[in-house]
Structures are given as structure tokens and as C-alpha cells.
């Protein structure tokens, strides 16, 4: 399960806006260009990790103003700001763009824009191409995020999402060589961060999805290939959007252990989803770890904290 699907295309830029149930992701045909400059004014900067629903959220400053709450995702391929914030900050309209959304019959309309400076703690990103779009149907509730950052889009910096400590750290450096135990290759064929997962002898590649509340989501076809404690059961009113419309979800418990390198998760619950193209790991599993992304070398490190396994 190495190949990730390629979906959608944009006129000038393309970004994935995740729906409320973010168990599906898309890999775009053409990623937006990188920022002109990424700087870290100190050796390491640490910012609090908050949650909006199940998504990690950080405070950023945009063009010297803020702070504003931005969701930190891996299931996106660019930077997004809400239309409301773009107007408030006077960000330029640079032409139309297309934003793909899981489950949508057609792409969302968006505008290409540019952020001169975005600050996350003591990290500064300059010359950042972004899109502005209406987020009122993407997030529901008070104090919703006003934008999205790709957690894997900081080449040259290590980004650590420390779930147990509820903080995010950015620092200079590179991860050591892959060892298959705590450090893994990021699938060369995939745009999104991924890691190997073994389920009672079955080995697959799954994407890390920071916006996913559940633990392990797999295509429905895998239900017949795994040892389960019972037949997958439908969850009433539990559906998700996979990019091809609403899909039914069934749930079962693995009769055995899931392994991420040296880490073992006994008898995890697995969601099986119709029309899903590839697997995802979400917060229910990731919250046990400090997850470090090295986008320059396409490596991922998992580090467990005492009492989190």
C-alpha cells in the first residue's frame, strides 16, 4: 500500500481543506511553492499546543498582527487563511484558486494570496504563498481557527508535536538515520508524512493525520485480512467523507497487537471505511508520542513518554 492517490488540480495553488471527519486525505498533483525564507531566531522555540475539537492549534502572528489561531495539520499541502482574516489583514488577491475537500461534489472556490511574514514562536516564515477560503463550513463552534499550517512544511527545521506535554517545538537540526524502531522513512511516493504499521503480521504504510480523532482508519477491504475479535459492526449515524461522497464506517477490535517500529499497541480499535484509498493514524494513537517531522530528509521519529504507552 505504498502508492497514495493523486486527486484534484488547481489553477494557481491547491490546498486540502479537511472536513469535520478527517479520515480521508488527498495528495495534490502540484504542491504550492515553498516559502521564500524560513528562519529560527533562536536554537529552539516552544509554543503551547491547544486543541480545537481534536485538532492541534497554535497561535501565530501574520504580518505583525495577531495572535491568530491556526490549525496544525499534515493532511494539507499548503497554507490557508480564512476569507475573513485575509480581508481584515488586507492580504492581496492574486487570482482564483481551487481548494479540494473530501466529500465535496466540486472543489471550493478560493483566492490565491501572499503572506509577507508569519511567526510561530521565534520561527519566521517569509514570502508564503497561501489561499484564502470560507472556513465557516469546515469548522463549527466558537473561537474556531482562522487558518491552517502544514506541520511538515518547515524544511531545515525539526517540528515536534509533543502530545503528552501539550507543546510544539521547532529547532534546527536533522533526525538521525532511519533505524526502523523509532525513526522511519517518509514514503518517497507520498506527499503526506507516513509510517509503517504492522497489524498481526500484515504490513502497510499509513499516513499521519493530525486532524483525525480516531486511532487507526483502514479501507474496508482490510477487514477480511485481519484477525479481529468480532465481525466489524456498523456504528449508528457514523459516516465520513472520503472524497467520493459519504461512506459507511464499521468498527472492530484487533485480535492482537499493532506495531509502530518498537512500539506496541495491544488490541486497538480499527475503523473500516468504504471507498477509502489508504490507511491513516490519528490522535488516539499519536497522543501517546512526541512526533518529530524532518521534512528535509523525509523522516519521522516517534518517542513515547513514561506512562503514555
Lowest mean pLDDT among 40-49, 61-70, 126-135, 216-225: 126-135
Buried b (16+ CB within 10 A) or exposed e, 92-126: eebeebbbbbbbbeebbebbbbebeebbbbebbbe
pLDDT at 226: 94
The domain limits of the chain are 14-172, 183-304
Q: Name the band, by pLDDT with cuts 50, 70 and 90, for residue 19.
A: very low
List the end-to-end C-alpha distance of the chain, in Å, as a whole number: 27
Max CA separation in the chain (angstroms) = 56
Distance in angstroms (rounded) separating the CA atoms of residues 56 and 71: 6
Peptide linkage before 298 cis (omega within 30 of 0): no
**Do 68 and 18 touch, CB atoms closer than 8 A?**
no
**Do 122 and 73 touch, CB atoms closer than 8 A?**
no
Q: Name the band, by pLDDT with cuts 50, 70 and 90, for residue 115.
A: very high
Q: Which residue has the higher pLDDT, 249 or 74?
A: 249
In eight-state DSSP terms, residue 201 is: T
Angle CA 148–31–69, to nearest 5: 5
Question: Considering the chain, what is the average pLDDT of its residues?
Answer: 81
Q: Which residue has the higher pLDDT, 26 or 102?
A: 102
Q: Tell me which of 3.90.550.10, 1.25.40.10, 1.10.287.110, 2.40.70.10 is the CATH number of domain 14-172.
A: 2.40.70.10
Q: Please check whether the two domains, 14-172 and 183-304, share a CATH topology.
A: yes
Residue 237 has pLDDT above 60, yes or no: no
Phi, then psi, of 224 in degrees rounded to 5:
-85, -5
At 50-60, the pLDDT tens digits run 988 778 999 99
DSSP string covering 25-67, please? --B-SSPPPPPSEEEESSSEEEEE-EEETTEEEEEEEETTEEE
Residue 161 has pLDDT above 80, yes or no: yes
Q: What's the pTM? A: 0.82
Question: Domain 183-304, what fold?
Answer: Cathepsin D, subunit A; domain 1 (2.40.70)
pLDDT at 285: 93
Residues 223-249 have a mean pLDDT of 73
Residue 2 has pLDDT above 50, yes or no: no
Residue 128 has pLDDT above 80, yes or no: yes
At 276-306, the pLDDT tens digits run 888 999 989 999 999 999 989 999 999 997 6
Cell numbers 499521519: residue: 208
C-alpha cell at position 180: 526502523
Q: Which residue has the higher pLDDT, 242 or 210?
A: 210
pLDDT at 24: 31
C-alpha cell at position 160: 515536534
Amino acid at each position: 500500500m505504498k502508492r497514495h492517490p493523486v486527486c484534484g488540480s488547481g489553477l494557481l495553488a491547491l490546498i486540502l481543506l479537511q472536513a469535520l471527519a478527517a479520515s480521508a486525505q488527498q495528495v495534490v498533483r502540484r504542491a504550492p511553492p515553498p516559502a521564500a525564507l524560513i528562519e529560527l531566531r533562536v536554537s529552539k522555540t516552544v509554543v503551547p499546543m491547544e486543541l480545537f475539537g481534536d485538532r492541534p492549534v497554535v497561535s501565530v502572528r501574520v504580518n505583525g498582527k495577531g495572535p491568530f489561531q491556526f490549525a496544525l495539520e499534515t493532511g494539507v499541502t499548503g497554507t490557508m487563511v480564512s476569507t475573513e482574516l485575509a480581508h481584515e489583514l488586507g492580504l492581496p488577491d492574486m487570482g482564483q484558486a481551487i481548494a479540494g475537500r473530501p466529500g465535496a461534489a466540486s472543489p471550493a472556490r478560493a483566492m490565491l494570496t501572499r503572506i509577507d511574514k508569519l511567526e510561530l514562536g521565534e520561527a519566521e516564515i517569509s514570502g508564503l504563498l497561501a489561499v484564502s477560503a470560507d472556513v465557516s463550513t469546515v469548522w463549527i463552534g466558537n473561537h474556531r481557527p482562522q487558518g491552517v499550517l502544514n506541520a511538515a512544511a518547515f524544511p531545515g527545521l525539526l517540528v515536534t508535536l509533543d502530545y503528552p506535554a501539550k507543546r510544539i517545538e521547532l529547532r534546527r537540526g536533522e533526525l538521525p538515520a532511519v533505524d526502523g524502531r523509532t525513526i522511519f522513512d517518509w514514503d518517497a511516493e507520498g506527499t503526506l508524512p507516513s509510517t509503517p504499521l504492522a497489524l498481526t503480521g500484515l504490513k502497510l504504510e499509513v499516513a499521519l493525520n493530525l486532524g483525525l480523532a480516531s486511532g487507526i482508519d483502514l479501507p474496508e477491504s482490510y477487514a477480511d485480512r485481519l484477525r479481529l475479535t468480532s465481525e466489524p459492526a456498523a456504528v449508528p449515524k457514523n459516516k465520513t467523507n472520503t472524497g467520493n461522497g459519504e461512506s459507511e464506517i464499521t468498527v472492530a477490535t484487533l485480535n492482537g497487537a499493532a506495531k509502530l517500529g518498537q512500539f506496541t499497541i495491544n488490541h486497538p480499535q480499527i475503523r473500516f471505511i468504504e471507498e477509502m484509498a489508504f490507511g491513516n493514524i490519528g490522535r488516539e494513537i499519536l497522543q501517546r508520542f512526541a512526533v518529530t517531522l524532518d521534512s528535509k530528509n523525509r523522516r519521522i521519529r516517534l518517542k513515547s513518554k513514561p506512562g503514555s504507552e
